[in-house]
Amino acid sequence: MSSHNHQEKKEQLYYTIGEVSKMLDVNQSTLRYWEKEFEGIHPYRNRKGTRFYHTEDVETLRLVKYLLKEK
């Protein structure tokens, strides 16, 4: 596989709250609540305050959802 193809298949590093909300099928308000309640969820915020979740944050949120809603 060439490096060009490898770069095309790279995962996104940061996701907006809207993207994460759709990925996990939870409300944006739920994500904001979980951010306050659980350590380890620290989205980057730009100057306007827009949240950008790193892939690690998304995996943590996925685990939180599983433990709270699926178990």
pLDDT value, residue 70: 72
Query: Residue 56 is part of a domain; what is its CATH number?
Result: 1.10.1660.10
Q: Is residue 10 part of a domain?
A: no
pLDDT in tens, 9-23: 567 899 999 999 999
**44 falls within a domain:** yes
CA–CA dist 29, 71 (Å, integer):
21
User: Residue 42: which domain range?
Assistant: 18-70
Q: Give the global pTM.
A: 0.78
Give 37-60 pLDDT, tens digit per residue.
998 899 999 999 999 999 999 999
> C-alpha distances in angstroms, 58 versus 2, 26, 41?
29, 12, 8
pLDDT of residue 71: 62
Cβ partners under 8 Å of residue 62, min gap 6: 24
How many domains are there within the chain?
1
